[in-house]
Chain A
Amino acid sequence: MSPENTKIAIIGGGVAGSTAALWLGQLGYTVTLFEKNASLVSGPPFCHLHAGGNLYREISDAQCITLLEQSIDFLRFYPYVVDYRPTVIALPLTDKSTPNALLPRLELLKKEYERLIAKDPGNKVLGESENY
């Protein structure tokens, strides 16, 4: 079945429904989006799209890489909606670790970011990889 002959109904115009509607619509599908509120994506603003997620110590390196890929993907699709802010790392005195403990992970992600840029230059949405 071609996209043009496929009708898609999406219930809920939050970020998931709206993104699906936009993407599928661009591909030529006939999309109807249902939303009860006055405007789309009416939840609170999103926070920590990329860096914050990478700093969760309980997630694995593989999940961190997935987060990086997804964040780049999202930035390419929604380049005008994302704010860029510095990341400040602070630990409470009661924490037994140190901020430096994050460095191996950031090094890993820097290499991964480099690899993604080599694969597709359009992926360079977070500045130069050496500055990551």
Chain B
Amino acid sequence: MRGSLPKIRGTKYWEKAKTTRAIEHLSRFIPSFSTAKPTPKPLFGAQQIPGEDPTLRVAEVSFPIPHYARCEIVKVSSVLDMVRAILADLHDTQADMKKVYAYLETLKEERIDAYAKRLCKERHYPASLGERNISAPY
């Protein structure tokens, strides 16, 4: 927990204070950004760090009682390590990656694009946010 804002964490005041700090920070790179106004809707999610240790950018999985896993994701790319930890707890160590990736064969990128745009509208984001600027250039 950051020392300067202990009591309002988790409230709308906390969100606004965080955003104001982010605007100040970004203004050091893009001066015109200093007039940006906070809005309640975040355009993207920032990494959440548990506690004060910025090196802890990992998935947290704990198994407090048998047959129960509790997960907290710090950054999105660690979700697969989380799943592997759960599989290890289930004593399933021979996960067949062919099976895991099989779902990809039935997906069409155009359908995902259309669905992403629909979700953006439903969530009051611009539809263009559902598009990719550069889709897999490799």
Contacts and interface: CB of A to CB of B under 8 A. Distances in A.
B65 interface: no
A47 B86 contact: no
Nearest to A58: B54
A74 B102 CA distance: 15
Interface string A73-93: 110110111111100001010
Nearest to B138: A127
B100 A23 contact: yes
Interface residues of A, number: 55
A39 B29 contact: no
Q: Contact residue range for chain B?
A: 35 or more
B55 to A, nearest CB: 5
Given A28-B99, A80-B107, A83-B132, A44 B79 contact: no
B35 interface: no
A77 B101 contact: yes
B28 A92 contact: yes
A90 B27 CA distance: 12
B136 A84 contact: yes
B77 interface: yes
A121 interface: no
Interface string B103-138: 110010100100010010011010001001111111
Contact of A27 (B73, B95, B137): B95
A91 to B, nearest CB: 9
A70 B129 contact: no
Nearest to B131: A83
Closest 10 CB pairs of A and B: A47-B44, A70-B77, A44-B45, A92-B28, A44-B42, A84-B134, A74-B77, A19-B79, A83-B132, A46-B76
Given A20-B71, A24-B83, 6 more contacts: A16-B59, A20-B86, A49-B76, A71-B77, A83-B135, A127-B137
16 contacts: A19-B80, A20-B71, A23-B83, A23-B100, A26-B101, A38-B122, A45-B44, A47-B44, A53-B75, A56-B54, A56-B57, A63-B57, A70-B81, A83-B135, A84-B132, A94-B28
